[in-house]
């Protein structure tokens, strides 16, 4: 399988970076014409990426160039945040990246979307999906995503790989604080009664039990996971949402998703050691599903999970490069991740979605 990546970093958003990234990847793959290209650009390109897209298409001698702009991008060799860069994954003629209008084997769809282009009808239209939410810094750029070597005004793109087997997994990387509790009352996005107590008191108690002190709850590290039963939560069949704010006077907690009375909820803590271990076990599980060494991988990681979370290092990236040395890998740090779990496609916060591919 002829697949390779390259990443180029510069001082300004030059189209040459994209052309050089593609050309270098093609040399590594030992091909002169690419069947398709995945091109990722940093947010410095978001306002006008077309010149870089054209440079990539010219270097690849093909017009099947897909990708997006993102705050941070990476390959197996390096990651980049806060600097202009281009990363490319090129594919030879033994593998194709095709649009989903002819997908007889119903392969899961690689899905990249800008934040303003997400809707639940499209997200769950019958196809299994994996991917991420990207765009420029505010997610509003007209060329946040592109395919066929030009910006796509719909704000989202989708494609599938033919001739490969795929295994996709999600690393939540959270530590559950206590047992699932039943929700008694909600008001829109506000959680108002949990396990016959004020939700804020429940959260504070869970944090104090974990931390062994009475300090303030680190809300930026807390996630709420929920399901229709306590058993689903303990078995890992849960959804998750973030905390927007807490009301000290009423004891209510506002969540990013509206929940319902009768559901069960657990508070969780985003923890670096737990996240790294979870990502490692998930990577190995996916390799076992393929039952053969993977030929390449795509990784979609939350901006709040990458180096900013791991104190200046991307431990997820380190895990996968150590587990699968020299395997081509491409990905970006985004504003949300997409995966098919619990029977439907979900938009996830603070996760890492990894897909491993092997020749059929």
* Domain locations in the chain as residue ranges: 3-171+274-359, 174-269
Token couple for 342 = 């619990």
pLDDT value for 355 = 98
pLDDT value for 142 = 66
pLDDT value for 105 = 79
Q: Is 332 helix (H, G, I), strand (E, B) or coil?
A: strand
Straight-line distance from the first to the last Cα atom of the chain, in angstroms, rounded to the nearest whole number: 10
Mean confidence (pLDDT) of the chain:
93
The pTM (predicted TM-score) of the whole model is 0.94
Q: Are 124 and 345 in contact (CB under 8 A)?
A: yes
Rounded to whole angstroms, the Cα distance separating 23 from 90 reads 9
Rounded to whole angstroms, the Cα distance separating 35 from 203 reads 52
pLDDT value for 7 = 98
* DSSP 8-class letter at 55: H
More confident residue, 96 or 210: 210
pLDDT value for 181 = 97
pLDDT value for 278 = 95
| pLDDT tier, 112 (very low <50, low <70, confident <90, very high otherwise) | very high
Does pLDDT of 139 surpass 60? no
């Amino acid at each position: 399988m002829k697949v390779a990546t390259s990443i180029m970093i510069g001082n300004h958003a030059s189209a040459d970076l994209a052309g050089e990234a593609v050309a270098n990847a093609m040399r590594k793959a030992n091909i002169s014409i690419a069947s398709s290209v995945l091109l990722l650009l940093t947010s410095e390109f978001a306002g006008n990426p077309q010149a870089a897209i054209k440079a990539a298409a010219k270097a690849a001698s093909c017009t099947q160039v897909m990708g997006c702009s993102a705050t941070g991008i990476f390959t197996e060799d390096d990651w980049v945040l806060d600097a202009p860069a281009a990363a490319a994954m090129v594919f030879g003629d033994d593998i194709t990246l095709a649009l989903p209008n002819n997908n007889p084997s119903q392969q899961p769809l690689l899905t990249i979307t800008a934040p303003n282009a997400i809707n639940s009808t499209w997200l769950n239209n019958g196809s299994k999906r994996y991917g991420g939410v990207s765009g420029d810094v505010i997610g509003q750029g007209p060329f946040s995503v592109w395919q066929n070597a030009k910006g796509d005004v719909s704000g989202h793109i989708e494609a599938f790989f033919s001739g490969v087997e795929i295994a996709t997994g999600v690393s939540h990387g959270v530590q559950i604080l206590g047992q699932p509790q039943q929700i008694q009352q909600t008001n829109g996005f506000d959680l108002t009664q949990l396990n016959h107590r004020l939700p804020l008191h429940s959260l504070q108690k869970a944090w104090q039990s974990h931390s062994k002190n009475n300090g303030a709850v680190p809300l930026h590290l807390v996630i709420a996971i929920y399901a229709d039963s306590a058993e689903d939560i303990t078995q890992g069949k849960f959804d998750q949402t973030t905390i927007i704010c807490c009301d000290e006077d009423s004891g209510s907690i506002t969540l990013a998703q509206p929940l319902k009375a009768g559901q069960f909820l657990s508070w969780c803590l985003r923890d670096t050691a737990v996240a790294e271990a979870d990502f490692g076990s998930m990577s190995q599980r996916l390799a076992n599903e393929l039952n053969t060494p993977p030929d390449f991988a795509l990784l979609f990681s939350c901006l709040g999970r990458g180096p900013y979370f791991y104190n200046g290092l991307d431990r997820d990236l380190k895990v996968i490069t150590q587990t699968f040395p020299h395997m081509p890998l491409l990905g970006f740090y985004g504003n949300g991740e997409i995966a098919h779990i619990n029977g439907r496609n979900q938009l996830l916060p603070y996760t890492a979605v990894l897909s491993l591919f092997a020749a059929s």
